[in-house]
Amino acid sequence: MHSFIDNTLLSRLGALPIESRVPMLGNVAGKHRSPHRGSSVEFAEYRKYVPGDDTRRLDWKAFARSDRFYIKEFEADTNLRAYFVVDASGSMKFAGKGEAKIQYARRIAASLAYLLVNQGDAAGLSICTDKLHLEVPPSRRAAHLERFFSTLGKLEPAGETGLLGALHTIAEKIGQRAFVVILSDLFTDPAALGDALQHLRYRKHDISLFHLMDPQEIGFEFERPHRFVDLEDGTALVVEPNLIADEYKTALRDFLTAVRAKCHDASADYQLVTTDTPLEPLLREFLTARLPKSKR
């Protein structure tokens, strides 16, 4: 059993479906809307009969009322393919006052993947650093989850981030619409991040972004001089935190504002999450917010 899987949490969240915000293009029937007309029970629209249409789909009652042939169309339901893009750069190793960001990312990814597979959708994993881009293709099978969890468990953050490259790769590689869940601290250029998100958006993917931050990274509260060593490239800097706290917070605030704006521009679902946040309310809120208003 993996440490990042909380059965109690999963059982509590099991009743909540994971909905896609955009119609999905799946291979098999499922619970999610499709852009194509199908055979679900949900009425979509009438259209005029054209020769070649299946006569079984003619609406005879409409013909009786109007003396014209109409085809009654229904929504098509399909399954959802989710890609969890986990940033495995060295910065994700940071564990200040909360747990390590990578561990928090594992818990989110594992929980959501479990819920997806459990409702018949496919979940895939993409792990990225500047030197590594590891992928677990999406699959609906329950046995696939073990591979998913195992890959997550073996994940060892190191090096600089390769998130942007991974996002572009995913955007290019996935042919059909998918649910892309990004788990990262996003320590990269917001403009480049915006470009990558736009790329995904262009491919009509449903994007959710969990921006993981440690409370210490946000609060920046230190009493004495510290030697800060970069987790990604090893750069060291000795500073007196009291002296630069204001500038640090200002820079962080500007960064978060820029990231939030880029996500908004790309219609991505942005969640700034500190690693001391309890997971259950976070995921419950996340899942509830994705439900259609009629189901909330």
Partner 1 sequence: MLFLSPLFLWFLAAAAVPIAIHLINRRRHKTIQWAAMQFLLKAARQSRGKKKLRHILILTCRALGVAALALAAARPIVSGLIGWGGGSIDTVVLLLDRSASMEIKPGDGLESRRQIVIKKVRDAMADLGATRLVLIDSASNKPQEVPSPEILPDLAAAAGTDTAADFPALLTRAAEFLTETSGRSEVWLASDLQASNWHPDDERWAATRAGLASLPQKPAFRVLSLTGATAPDSSVRLLATRRSGDELLIDLEVLRSGEARGTTSIPLTTHLNGTRTTETLTVPGQSLRFQKRVALPSASDTGHGWLTIPADGNARNNAAFFAYGPAHPVKTLVVSAPGESADYLALAAAPPGFGNLSTQRVEAGQAATAITADLAAILWAAPLPTGATAETVQRFLTSGGQVLFLAPGSASDTPFIDLKWSDPTEPPAGKFFILKDWNHSDGPLRDGIEGTPVAANRLKAIRRQIPLGDASPLGRWEDGEPAITRRIIDHGTAWFLGSIPDYTWSNLGDADVLLPAVQRIIAAGTERFDASYLAIAGSAAAGILPGETRSRLDDQGTPDPANAEYEAGVFRLGERLLAVNRPPQEDTPEILSREALDTVLDGTNYTLLDQAGQANDPALSRDVWRAFLVAVLFFFISEGLLCLPKSPSSKS
Q: What's phi and psi for 281, nearest 5 deg? A: -60, -30
Q: Of how many residues is the chain composed?
A: 296
Q: Are strands 179-184 and 81-87 parallel, antiparallel or unpaired?
A: parallel
Spatial neighbors of 144 by CB under 8 A, at least 6 apart, are 117, 122, 123, 136
DSSP-derived letter for residue 111 is: H
CB of 282 to partner 1, least distance (A): 20
CB of 86 to partner 1, least distance (A): 15
CB of 216 to partner 1, least distance (A): 9
**What sign does the dihedral 269-272-275-280 (CA atoms) show?**
negative
Q: Which is nearer to partner 1, 35 or 225 (CB)?
A: 225
CB of 218 to partner 1, least distance (A): 9
Residue 112: burial class (beta carbons within 10 Å; 0-12, 13-18, 19+)? buried
User: Cα separation of 158 and 6, whole Å?
Assistant: 26
Residue pair 183/84 in contact (Cβ under 8 Å)? The answer is yes
Could you tell me which stretch among 17-25, 73-81, 231-239, 272-280 binds partner 1 (CB under 8 A)?
A: 231-239
Q: What is the secondary structure of 40-71 as a DSSP string?
A: EEEEEEEEE--TTS-GGGB-HHHHHHHSS-EE
CB of 187 to partner 1, least distance (A): 6
Could you tell me which stretch among 28-36, 46-54, 165-173, 230-238 binds partner 1 (CB under 8 A)?
A: 230-238
Q: Which tokens go with 225?
A: 């001089």
Q: Which is nearer to partner 1, 146 or 230 (CB)?
A: 230
Interface residue with partner 1, options 8, 11, 235, 294 (CB under 8 A): 235
DSSP-derived letter for residue 4 is: T
Q: Is 69 one of the binding residues for partner 1 (CB under 8 A)?
A: no
CB of 285 to partner 1, least distance (A): 25
* Site map (CB under 8 A) of partner 1, residues 99-138, x = contact: --x-------------------------------------
Residues 151-190 that bind partner 1 (CB under 8 A): 185, 187
CB of 192 to partner 1, least distance (A): 13
Interface residue with partner 1, options 42, 146, 246, 285 (CB under 8 A): 246
User: Cα separation of 227 and 213, whole Å?
Assistant: 20
Q: Which residues bind partner 1 (CB under 8 A)?
A: 90-94, 101, 185, 187, 213-214, 217, 224-232, 235, 237-240, 243-248, 250-252, 255
